[in-house]
Structure 1
Amino acid sequence: MFWFHWKHPIKIAIIVALCVGCWFAFSPVAQKVHLGLDLQGGLRALVELEPTHDVPKIDAGILDEELQVLQTRLGGLGVSELTFEKVGADRINIEMPGLKDPEQAIKLIREAAVLEMRPLSSEQLAKGQNNSAALYKEAGPAIITGADISHATVGTDPGGAPAVEFTLNSAGAKKFYEWSSKNVGKPLPIFLDQKLIEAPTIESAISNNGEIHGGFTQDSSIRLANELNAGALKVPTKILETESVGPTLGRIDLQKSLVASLVGLGVVLLFMLVVYRVPGLLADLALVVYCFLMLAYVSLFGVVLTLPGIAGFVLSIGMAVDANVLIFERIKEELWGGRTTRAAVGVGFKRAFWTVFDSHVTTILGAVVLYWLGTGTVKGFALTLLVGTVLSLLTAVNITRSFVDVVVDKDLATAPALYGV
């Protein structure tokens, strides 16, 4: 008895609470919804890992390690929506939306960043001052490498120029102290990718901290600090292709997509209202709830919205409308057959359910296959379509039904003409 009297207020209260929760989840939209490369500009790079004498074959382990190094390096650029995707056995597709300095990113991808501190005599340094390759060959075994550095940050030298400050791990600190305590007054050249960047003189025993000067700019010091924190690449990288999208072009695409989506949504809402009248209005309300749910999903799960993703979203709106059309046409048939409005609504929803369910399941299966076999933008489209179709089934069958039941049970609109008959 309690449920009979209170079921409609409870259902409406749940729907309202759901909408309020969604609103807090995605508001403000500009901060909560992350835009992809094609909508805010940035850089996409397809990177190939090249085998070497020491690493003759690129296996899954090497691919994972190099991907992790690149993630850490590029993460230091302050790009929050970085995406990395393995392509085949030896390639990585990297998308960096919102990137303001593509050249810096390309250098981070290309440079191996093998840092080595190798001993040389003052005479050797003076003799080969302008020949890094010859000095590297003459230098002794590395005392310290990038693997011995636990953390690196950007600092300044006594003259105020950019420098890189580093902290050694316990093993590196022990090695450095033992060597430096025995070689006070001697130079210790620092090589980066076999190129001499500076040759400081050891003035006293050094334990766990140090500083690298090398005529750095602010950008190059930031890049080296990022590379040291991420670690060196084990194999060379080759950039096969790059695609740069300017922020202005991305903004134009976003504006066009939003206008197209809003115009399409407006036409659909108007069509439902004109053709199906009261049920159409209720379906429009359910469609608004659906949009709230989709925006909440995009915000809560950190989905990066791209043009294909927007296409999947719009297509799933079509699925939601299609479901309502099937149900309302069935209700009209029952009204034409002489049933009362209450009976026509009950029978219409019941008989149209399996048709609606089957059409949604078919779309869901297609989206799953696309996601499983697709890559990149195809996956983004498939995932948005998949989630959108599931939510459209929920709104069409449950939320629209709740709205219609309230109107019919409370005798707010019972005339067949109000149902498009």
Structure 2
Amino acid sequence: MRASRGWVITILIITALSALLLIPTIAGDALPKWWGKIFPDKGINLGLDLRGGIFLLVGVDSEKAVEHELNSINEYMNQELKSEKVLPKGFQITGQDLTMQFFSKEDLDKAKKIADENFNDRTDIDEKDLSLNFVLKNNYLDDIRVRAIDQVKQVLENRIQEMGLVEPSVQKSGANRILIQVPGASERDRQRIIDIIKRSAVLEFKIVKDTGVDQDVLLAKYGVKTPEELNAQGLMLVPGATGTENEKFFIATADSPVTGASLSDARLIFDEFGRPAVGFSFKGEGASKFGTLTEKNIGQRLAIVLDGTIKSAPTIQERIAAQGRITGSFTTEEAKDLALVLRSGALPVPVNVEQEKTVGPSLGKDSIDSGKLSMIVGGALVIIFMIVFYRLQGVVADIALTLNMLFIMGFLSAFGVTLTLPGIAGLVLTMGMAVDGNIIIFERIKEELRTGKSPFASIEAGYQRSFPTVLDANATTLITGLILFWFGTGPIKGFAATLCIGILTTFFSNVIIAHVITSYIYQNKKVAALSI
């Protein structure tokens, strides 16, 4: 390969482009506003281990999604059977099975017909004695679990972004976990973030039928002993936290015609006594449903149920369509956070924080300093080694290495990659691999010189015959890096991204840049010996 003008121009263009892409990282907040309209403006972000912040590993109870699906089937069946004037004897949910019991064979036959028409695609349905059994199919079960994880990830992402935290990272980790990293968050933010993450924020509106202090006394008034038996009457027992001593428990309608899914907005407000509360507004169909619910039940109490507990139960004075409020013993911050989670949507299943870690900014600074030192020392040793052992060709390799690092940093900046301590390790490893490729080529050139070939012929033969070896070495490492990127999470993914980008730019710098510079030095010149 001769130092053709085309290759020289290509190298200069890539160098200029890399320098341009790196400007957002160097400039930071000083970057002009117009820059993002013309060029990428993401820049390299510092990860949790470099910047400090909060790390959370959240477990998702995806099996609850299966239970919710079976409950939905049970509720639908009860609604349809009600129109057929059939009252089920009871029901039981075990794992992925729902069993409904009936008083007569006639009732069972009616239920079987409804079940076959509506749930045959997702459940296996069979009858035994006076019971109807629903078993969710395996492919539908997998779909339920995956949907639950995806929904939780989206809700948590919305909540954390609404908090105004800088560059949070929310990603799936394995089959039923979500990894959350919030760089720059302090220890003070930790508990607030955990509370916001764990809160289900399921908002429902029900009509109150009765209230009392003792659960057993309330159930006895309706001729039942357990809350499950009460459900068969279309009612349910709900604990209360309204601040009134004689309202520990409520009997309310089981169905919720309107839920938090219909909200268009939720915000911090203050009631007539100056106490923090949460105001909410409905959108489109939700406003119409809420208007119908309140219009039909004027004079009755409306239970505002949050995460299975009645927070307030005002009496409906007139039709309400557009908006309402949730009152309680809130602090200003609690009301603000409740409004935030309501805006972000309810969690479809419970979550729990399995692992948490707070990295202080001083520890992050120490990591950055250590990373810088390792790169400087490693780079200096590599540069000195190449010059001592390969003289002028060592200088060529060092120039190619410098451009290689510029290319890597430019591409990392363009994609807005989050740089972690393992990512820095990937950069240092890339430097070693870049030099390794040059050593393979230079040693091959020496072998060609020993056979008696001319210096320029030895250069061409050396690059040509070492090409398969360099290609194989980089390709196998690239495959490993891609596997790490595909299956890894968090720091491992960052390391793999840095490594893969480094491998591609290293191959280009070894095979093209170093070759072009070497050819430019020696072509059209009568050289008796190479400085190698």
**Same fold, TM-score > 0.5, yes or no:** yes
Is structure 2 residue 305 aligned with structure 1 residue 219? no
The aligned residue for residue 85 of structure 1 is: 172
Instruction: Give yes or no for contact 1:197–1:214 (8 Å, CA) kept in 2.
Output: yes
The aligned residue for residue 241 of structure 1 is: 355
The aligned residue for residue 260 of structure 1 is: 374
The aligned residue for residue 114 of structure 1 is: 202
The aligned residue for residue 57 of structure 2 is: 46
How far residue 213 of structure 1 moved from its aligned partner, in angstroms, is 4.3
- After superposition, the C-alpha distances for 1:361-384 in whole angstroms (9 at most, x for unaligned) are 222233234345544433332332
How far residue 67 of structure 1 moved from its aligned partner, in angstroms, is 2.0
Taking only the aligned residue pairs, the percentage that are identical comes to 35
2: CA distance, partners of 1:246 / 1:377 = 17
Deviates most, 336-345 or 36-45: 336-345
- After superposition, the C-alpha distances for 1:74-117 in whole angstroms (9 at most, x for unaligned) are 222234241312323x3323333333312122112211111223
TM-score when normalising by structure 1: 0.85
2: CA distance, partners of 1:370 / 1:62 = 26
2: CA distance, partners of 1:177 / 1:19 = 64
The aligned residue for residue 13 of structure 1 is: 9
How far residue 264 of structure 1 moved from its aligned partner, in angstroms, is 0.8
- After superposition, the C-alpha distances for 1:179-208 in whole angstroms (9 at most, x for unaligned) are 445666775443322334445565654322
Q: Provide closer, same or farther for how the CA distance between residues 321 and 158 of structure 1 changes in structure 2, counting only shifts above 3 A.
A: farther
Instruction: Give yes or no for contact 1:136–1:194 (8 Å, CA) kept in 2.
Output: no
The aligned residue for residue 322 of structure 1 is: 436
Q: Provide closer, same or farther for how the CA distance between residues 227 and 258 of structure 1 changes in structure 2, counting only shifts above 3 A.
A: same
The aligned residue for residue 169 of structure 1 is: 283
Highest CA radius of gyration, 1 or 2?
2
Deviates most, 200-209 or 258-267: 200-209
How far residue 396 of structure 1 moved from its aligned partner, in angstroms, is 0.4
The aligned residue for residue 150 of structure 2 is: 64
How far residue 306 of structure 1 moved from its aligned partner, in angstroms, is 1.4
1: CA distance, partners of 2:60 / 2:411 = 35
Instruction: List aligned pairs for 1:265-414, cutoff 5 A.
Output: 265-409=379-523, 411=525, 414=527
How far residue 135 of structure 1 moved from its aligned partner, in angstroms, is 5.0
Give the length in aligned residue pairs: 412
2: CA distance, partners of 1:201 / 1:409 = 93
The aligned residue for residue 137 of structure 1 is: 250
TM-score when normalising by structure 2: 0.69
2: CA distance, partners of 1:158 / 1:404 = 82
Q: Which runs of 5+ in 1 are unaligned?
A: none
Q: Provide closer, same or farther for how the CA distance between residues 131 and 309 of structure 1 changes in structure 2, counting only shifts above 3 A.
A: farther
Instruction: Give yes or no for contact 1:370–1:378 (8 Å, CA) kept in 2.
Output: yes
Instruction: Give yes or no for contact 1:151–1:166 (8 Å, CA) kept in 2.
Output: yes
Deviates most, 332-341 or 236-245: 332-341
- After superposition, the C-alpha distances for 1:361-417 in whole angstroms (9 at most, x for unaligned) are 222233234345544433332332222112211110011111111111254x94636
- After superposition, the C-alpha distances for 1:102-140 in whole angstroms (9 at most, x for unaligned) are 212211221111122334489979x98546995553344
Instruction: Give yes or no for contact 1:19–1:292 (8 Å, CA) kept in 2.
Output: yes
Q: Which runs of 5+ in 2 are unaligned?
A: 29-42, 70-94, 97-143, 214-239
